Structure 1
Protein backbone atom coordinates (compact mmCIF):
# COMPACT_ATOMS: atom_id res chain seq x y z
CA UNK A 1 0.00 0.00 0.00
CA UNK A 2 1.41 3.39 -1.04
CA UNK A 3 1.57 6.19 1.48
CA UNK A 4 2.51 8.86 -1.06
CA UNK A 5 0.20 11.84 -1.01
CA UNK A 6 -1.43 12.94 -4.23
CA UNK A 7 -1.76 16.55 -5.31
CA UNK A 8 -5.22 18.02 -4.81
CA UNK A 9 -7.11 19.28 -7.85
CA UNK A 10 -7.96 22.79 -6.73
CA UNK A 11 -9.92 25.40 -8.69
CA UNK A 12 -10.08 29.00 -7.52
CA UNK A 13 -12.68 31.53 -8.65
CA UNK A 14 -10.77 34.48 -7.21
CA UNK A 15 -7.25 35.18 -6.05
CA UNK A 16 -8.75 35.90 -2.63
CA UNK A 17 -9.80 32.22 -2.57
CA UNK A 18 -6.15 31.28 -3.09
CA UNK A 19 -5.03 33.53 -0.24
CA UNK A 20 -7.69 32.02 2.05
CA UNK A 21 -6.43 28.54 1.13
CA UNK A 22 -2.86 29.53 2.00
CA UNK A 23 -4.04 31.01 5.31
CA UNK A 24 -5.94 27.81 6.13
CA UNK A 25 -2.89 25.68 5.36
CA UNK A 26 -0.75 27.85 7.62
CA UNK A 27 -3.31 27.77 10.44
CA UNK A 28 -4.22 24.09 10.26
CA UNK A 29 -1.00 22.50 9.13
CA UNK A 30 -0.33 20.48 6.01
CA UNK A 31 1.68 17.69 4.50
CA UNK A 32 3.56 18.00 1.26
CA UNK A 33 2.72 16.00 -1.84
CA UNK A 34 5.55 17.80 -3.65
CA UNK A 35 8.93 19.34 -2.94
CA UNK A 36 7.98 22.82 -1.73
CA UNK A 37 6.68 23.99 1.62
CA UNK A 38 4.03 26.69 2.09
CA UNK A 39 6.51 29.55 2.38
CA UNK A 40 8.18 28.50 -0.87
CA UNK A 41 4.87 28.14 -2.72
CA UNK A 42 3.53 31.50 -1.48
CA UNK A 43 6.80 33.32 -2.23
CA UNK A 44 6.91 31.84 -5.72
CA UNK A 45 3.28 32.73 -6.40
CA UNK A 46 3.76 36.28 -5.10
CA UNK A 47 6.69 36.77 -7.48
CA UNK A 48 4.76 35.55 -10.51
CA UNK A 49 1.70 37.62 -9.60
CA UNK A 50 3.80 40.79 -9.56
CA UNK A 51 5.80 40.11 -12.75
CA UNK A 52 3.03 41.13 -15.19
CA UNK A 53 2.87 44.50 -13.40
CA UNK A 54 6.56 45.15 -12.76
CA UNK A 55 8.22 43.21 -15.57
CA UNK A 56 9.84 39.82 -15.64
CA UNK A 57 13.42 39.09 -14.61
CA UNK A 58 15.81 38.84 -17.51
CA UNK A 59 16.43 35.19 -18.33
CA UNK A 60 20.01 33.94 -18.39
CA UNK A 61 21.76 34.80 -21.67
CA UNK A 62 21.71 31.19 -22.87
CA UNK A 63 17.92 31.02 -22.39
CA UNK A 64 17.00 34.29 -24.13
CA UNK A 65 16.98 32.90 -27.68
CA UNK A 66 14.82 29.95 -26.58
CA UNK A 67 12.38 32.26 -24.79
CA UNK A 68 12.16 34.43 -27.93
CA UNK A 69 11.42 31.42 -30.14
CA UNK A 70 8.82 29.95 -27.74
CA UNK A 71 7.13 33.32 -27.16
CA UNK A 72 6.83 33.90 -30.91
CA UNK A 73 5.80 30.37 -31.95
CA UNK A 74 4.16 27.90 -29.57
CA UNK A 75 3.89 30.13 -26.47
CA UNK A 76 0.53 31.71 -27.29
CA UNK A 77 -0.91 28.28 -28.10
CA UNK A 78 0.47 26.90 -24.82
CA UNK A 79 -1.18 29.78 -22.92
CA UNK A 80 -4.52 29.05 -24.57
CA UNK A 81 -4.16 25.37 -23.69
CA UNK A 82 -3.36 26.11 -20.02
CA UNK A 83 -6.35 28.45 -19.81
CA UNK A 84 -8.71 26.06 -21.62
CA UNK A 85 -7.71 23.04 -19.51
CA UNK A 86 -7.54 25.00 -16.29
CA UNK A 87 -4.31 23.34 -15.23
CA UNK A 88 -0.55 23.56 -15.56
CA UNK A 89 1.60 20.57 -16.32
CA UNK A 90 3.39 19.04 -13.34
CA UNK A 91 7.15 19.16 -13.34
CA UNK A 92 7.52 22.13 -15.68
CA UNK A 93 10.73 24.03 -14.97
CA UNK A 94 10.65 27.48 -13.38
CA UNK A 95 13.20 30.18 -12.80
CA UNK A 96 15.22 29.14 -9.77
CA UNK A 97 15.28 32.76 -8.59
CA UNK A 98 11.53 32.49 -7.95
CA UNK A 99 11.82 29.55 -5.55
CA UNK A 100 12.59 30.71 -2.01
CA UNK A 101 14.74 28.50 0.19
CA UNK A 102 12.89 25.90 2.30
CA UNK A 103 11.76 26.49 5.88
CA UNK A 104 10.99 30.18 5.44
CA UNK A 105 8.59 32.23 7.52
CA UNK A 106 5.17 30.96 6.48
CA UNK A 107 3.25 33.87 8.00
CA UNK A 108 5.41 36.40 6.16
CA UNK A 109 5.11 34.46 2.90
CA UNK A 110 1.31 34.25 3.14
CA UNK A 111 1.18 37.99 3.87
CA UNK A 112 3.44 38.65 0.88
CA UNK A 113 1.05 36.63 -1.28
CA UNK A 114 -1.88 38.66 0.08
CA UNK A 115 -0.14 41.95 -0.76
CA UNK A 116 0.68 40.74 -4.29
CA UNK A 117 -2.94 39.65 -4.82
CA UNK A 118 -4.34 42.93 -3.50
CA UNK A 119 -2.02 44.88 -5.76
CA UNK A 120 -2.78 42.76 -8.85
CA UNK A 121 -6.52 43.04 -8.31
CA UNK A 122 -6.41 46.83 -8.07
CA UNK A 123 -3.78 47.36 -10.78
CA UNK A 124 -5.07 49.27 -13.81
CA UNK A 125 -1.81 49.80 -15.72
CA UNK A 126 -0.40 47.94 -18.68
CA UNK A 127 0.53 44.28 -18.20
CA UNK A 128 3.89 42.99 -19.37
CA UNK A 129 4.08 40.06 -21.79
CA UNK A 130 5.16 36.69 -20.47
CA UNK A 131 8.61 35.44 -21.48
CA UNK A 132 6.98 32.28 -22.81
CA UNK A 133 3.29 32.99 -23.48
CA UNK A 134 3.73 36.46 -24.96
CA UNK A 135 1.12 39.19 -24.46
CA UNK A 136 -1.96 38.31 -22.40
CA UNK A 137 -4.93 40.53 -21.66
CA UNK A 138 -6.08 41.16 -18.09
CA UNK A 139 -8.63 38.32 -18.09
CA UNK A 140 -6.06 35.87 -19.47
CA UNK A 141 -3.50 36.95 -16.87
CA UNK A 142 -6.10 36.49 -14.13
CA UNK A 143 -6.93 32.99 -15.36
CA UNK A 144 -3.24 32.05 -15.52
CA UNK A 145 -2.71 33.37 -11.97
CA UNK A 146 -5.69 31.38 -10.63
CA UNK A 147 -4.46 28.21 -12.34
CA UNK A 148 -0.90 28.76 -11.10
CA UNK A 149 -2.08 29.25 -7.51
CA UNK A 150 -4.25 26.11 -7.67
CA UNK A 151 -1.34 24.15 -9.12
CA UNK A 152 1.13 24.95 -6.34
CA UNK A 153 -1.25 25.04 -3.38
CA UNK A 154 -2.65 21.71 -4.55
CA UNK A 155 0.65 20.08 -3.56
CA UNK A 156 -0.01 21.03 0.08
CA UNK A 157 -2.52 18.72 1.75
CA UNK A 158 -4.39 19.99 4.83
CA UNK A 159 -3.31 18.00 7.88
CA UNK A 160 -6.88 16.88 8.58
CA UNK A 161 -7.12 15.42 5.06
CA UNK A 162 -3.68 13.82 5.02
Structure 2
Protein backbone atom coordinates (compact mmCIF):
# COMPACT_ATOMS: atom_id res chain seq x y z
CA UNK A 1 0.00 0.00 0.00
CA UNK A 2 1.29 3.44 -0.88
CA UNK A 3 1.68 6.29 1.56
CA UNK A 4 -1.60 7.56 3.01
CA UNK A 5 -2.51 11.21 2.68
CA UNK A 6 -2.14 13.49 5.66
CA UNK A 7 -5.50 15.15 6.20
CA UNK A 8 -6.48 17.74 8.76
CA UNK A 9 -9.75 19.62 8.92
CA UNK A 10 -10.56 22.62 11.08
CA UNK A 11 -14.07 21.27 11.62
CA UNK A 12 -16.66 18.90 10.19
CA UNK A 13 -17.43 21.35 7.38
CA UNK A 14 -13.91 20.63 6.10
CA UNK A 15 -14.70 16.93 6.11
CA UNK A 16 -17.93 17.62 4.18
CA UNK A 17 -15.96 19.59 1.57
CA UNK A 18 -13.50 16.70 1.22
CA UNK A 19 -16.25 14.12 0.71
CA UNK A 20 -17.83 16.30 -1.97
CA UNK A 21 -14.48 16.77 -3.70
CA UNK A 22 -13.74 13.02 -3.64
CA UNK A 23 -17.18 12.37 -5.11
CA UNK A 24 -16.48 14.94 -7.85
CA UNK A 25 -12.93 13.83 -8.68
CA UNK A 26 -13.26 10.12 -8.16
CA UNK A 27 -10.77 8.28 -5.99
CA UNK A 28 -8.63 5.22 -5.51
CA UNK A 29 -9.05 3.18 -2.35
CA UNK A 30 -6.04 2.53 -0.18
CA UNK A 31 -8.09 0.74 2.43
CA UNK A 32 -11.14 -1.47 2.78
CA UNK A 33 -13.99 1.03 2.44
CA UNK A 34 -15.41 3.13 -0.39
CA UNK A 35 -16.35 6.79 0.03
CA UNK A 36 -19.96 5.78 0.63
CA UNK A 37 -18.97 3.22 3.26
CA UNK A 38 -16.75 5.76 5.04
CA UNK A 39 -19.56 8.33 5.04
CA UNK A 40 -22.02 5.76 6.42
CA UNK A 41 -19.52 4.79 9.16
CA UNK A 42 -19.00 8.46 10.08
CA UNK A 43 -22.77 8.93 10.30
CA UNK A 44 -23.20 5.82 12.45
CA UNK A 45 -20.52 7.06 14.87
CA UNK A 46 -21.51 10.72 14.82
CA UNK A 47 -25.32 10.55 15.13
CA UNK A 48 -25.25 9.01 18.65
CA UNK A 49 -23.58 12.22 19.85
CA UNK A 50 -27.00 13.80 19.28
CA UNK A 51 -29.28 10.78 19.85
CA UNK A 52 -27.38 9.08 22.68
CA UNK A 53 -25.35 5.88 22.64
CA UNK A 54 -26.74 2.44 23.54
CA UNK A 55 -26.70 1.78 27.30
CA UNK A 56 -24.31 -1.18 26.92
CA UNK A 57 -21.62 1.20 25.67
CA UNK A 58 -21.37 2.73 29.14
CA UNK A 59 -20.54 -0.60 30.82
CA UNK A 60 -16.87 0.30 30.70
CA UNK A 61 -17.32 3.93 31.74
CA UNK A 62 -14.94 3.30 34.64
CA UNK A 63 -12.14 3.06 32.01
CA UNK A 64 -12.83 6.52 30.54
CA UNK A 65 -10.08 8.33 32.49
CA UNK A 66 -7.52 5.87 31.12
CA UNK A 67 -8.99 6.10 27.60
CA UNK A 68 -8.87 9.91 27.73
CA UNK A 69 -5.23 9.81 28.81
CA UNK A 70 -3.99 7.06 26.46
CA UNK A 71 -6.29 6.83 23.44
CA UNK A 72 -7.64 10.37 22.97
CA UNK A 73 -4.23 11.91 22.09
CA UNK A 74 -3.76 9.17 19.46
CA UNK A 75 -7.24 9.79 18.01
CA UNK A 76 -6.49 13.51 17.77
CA UNK A 77 -3.08 13.01 16.12
CA UNK A 78 -2.30 13.23 12.39
CA UNK A 79 -1.51 9.52 12.31
CA UNK A 80 -4.28 7.96 14.38
CA UNK A 81 -4.09 4.19 14.91
CA UNK A 82 -5.09 1.87 12.08
CA UNK A 83 -6.72 -1.52 12.25
CA UNK A 84 -8.75 -1.06 15.43
CA UNK A 85 -11.91 -3.14 15.09
CA UNK A 86 -15.14 -1.24 15.50
CA UNK A 87 -18.38 -2.46 17.04
CA UNK A 88 -20.55 -4.19 14.43
CA UNK A 89 -23.22 -1.48 14.77
CA UNK A 90 -20.72 1.00 13.28
CA UNK A 91 -19.67 -1.17 10.30
CA UNK A 92 -21.21 0.01 7.02
CA UNK A 93 -22.89 -2.37 4.58
CA UNK A 94 -20.80 -3.64 1.66
CA UNK A 95 -22.91 -1.98 -1.02
CA UNK A 96 -23.81 1.68 -0.66
CA UNK A 97 -24.14 4.54 -3.14
CA UNK A 98 -21.34 7.10 -2.78
CA UNK A 99 -23.45 10.12 -3.80
CA UNK A 100 -26.34 9.21 -1.50
CA UNK A 101 -24.04 8.61 1.46
CA UNK A 102 -22.16 11.88 0.94
CA UNK A 103 -25.50 13.71 1.08
CA UNK A 104 -26.50 11.73 4.19
CA UNK A 105 -23.17 12.72 5.79
CA UNK A 106 -23.83 16.38 4.93
CA UNK A 107 -27.26 16.12 6.60
CA UNK A 108 -25.73 14.42 9.64
CA UNK A 109 -23.18 17.22 10.05
CA UNK A 110 -25.90 19.86 9.70
CA UNK A 111 -27.96 18.07 12.35
CA UNK A 112 -24.89 17.76 14.59
CA UNK A 113 -24.24 21.51 14.33
CA UNK A 114 -27.92 22.38 14.88
CA UNK A 115 -28.11 20.35 18.12
CA UNK A 116 -28.71 22.58 21.13
CA UNK A 117 -27.05 21.82 24.43
CA UNK A 118 -24.52 19.18 25.32
CA UNK A 119 -23.78 16.15 23.20
CA UNK A 120 -24.15 12.67 24.67
CA UNK A 121 -21.14 11.39 26.61
CA UNK A 122 -18.68 9.68 24.28
CA UNK A 123 -18.47 5.93 25.06
CA UNK A 124 -14.67 6.01 25.43
CA UNK A 125 -14.00 9.58 26.52
CA UNK A 126 -17.09 10.55 28.54
CA UNK A 127 -18.69 13.99 28.65
CA UNK A 128 -16.78 16.47 26.53
CA UNK A 129 -17.31 20.06 25.44
CA UNK A 130 -19.11 20.71 22.16
CA UNK A 131 -15.78 21.80 20.67
CA UNK A 132 -13.99 18.62 21.75
CA UNK A 133 -16.75 16.32 20.47
CA UNK A 134 -16.57 18.05 17.08
CA UNK A 135 -12.78 17.78 17.14
CA UNK A 136 -13.02 14.03 17.86
CA UNK A 137 -15.46 13.52 14.96
CA UNK A 138 -13.39 15.77 12.68
CA UNK A 139 -10.20 13.81 13.39
CA UNK A 140 -12.11 10.55 12.94
CA UNK A 141 -13.31 11.73 9.51
CA UNK A 142 -9.75 12.72 8.51
CA UNK A 143 -8.50 9.31 9.67
CA UNK A 144 -10.86 7.44 7.34
CA UNK A 145 -10.83 9.83 4.38
CA UNK A 146 -7.01 9.68 4.19
CA UNK A 147 -7.46 6.15 2.82
CA UNK A 148 -8.98 7.58 -0.38
CA UNK A 149 -6.65 9.07 -2.96
CA UNK A 150 -8.28 11.65 -5.27
CA UNK A 151 -8.23 10.50 -8.90
CA UNK A 152 -7.42 13.95 -10.28
CA UNK A 153 -4.07 15.30 -9.20
CA UNK A 154 -2.40 18.52 -10.16
CA UNK A 155 0.72 17.90 -12.25
CA UNK A 156 1.97 21.48 -12.34
CA UNK A 157 4.61 22.61 -14.84
CA UNK A 158 4.03 23.72 -18.41
Listed as ranges, the gaps of 5+ residues in structure 2 are: 154-158
Q: Trace 1:12-161 onto structure 2 (pairs within 5 A).
A: 12-59=9-56, 65=59, 67-71=60-64, 73-78=65-70, 80-82=72-74, 85-161=77-153
Helix, strand or coil at the partner of 1:85? coil
Post-superposition CA distance 1:100-121 (Å, at most 9, x none): 1223111111011001111111
Q: CA deviation at 1:78?
A: 3.4
Would you say how many aligned residue pairs link Structure 1 and Structure 2? 153
Question: TM-score scaled by structure 2?
Answer: 0.86
Compute the RMSD of aligned alpha carbons.
2.0
CA distance in structure 2 between the partners assigned to 1:84 and 1:41 by the alignment? 18
Post-superposition CA distance 1:124-152 (Å, at most 9, x none): 12211111111111111011011001001
Helix, strand or coil at the partner of 1:142? helix
CA contact under 8 A between 2:61 and 2:126: conserved in structure 1? no
CA distance in structure 2 between the partners assigned to 1:148 and 1:133 by the alignment? 14
Listed as ranges, the gaps of 5+ residues in structure 1 are: none
CA distance in structure 2 between the partners assigned to 1:55 and 1:87 by the alignment? 28
Post-superposition CA distance 1:74-108 (Å, at most 9, x none): 12213541466355211122112212122311111
CA distance in structure 1 between the partners assigned to 2:58 and 2:72 by the alignment? 22
Question: TM-score scaled by structure 1?
Answer: 0.84
CA contact under 8 A between 2:6 and 2:78: conserved in structure 1? no
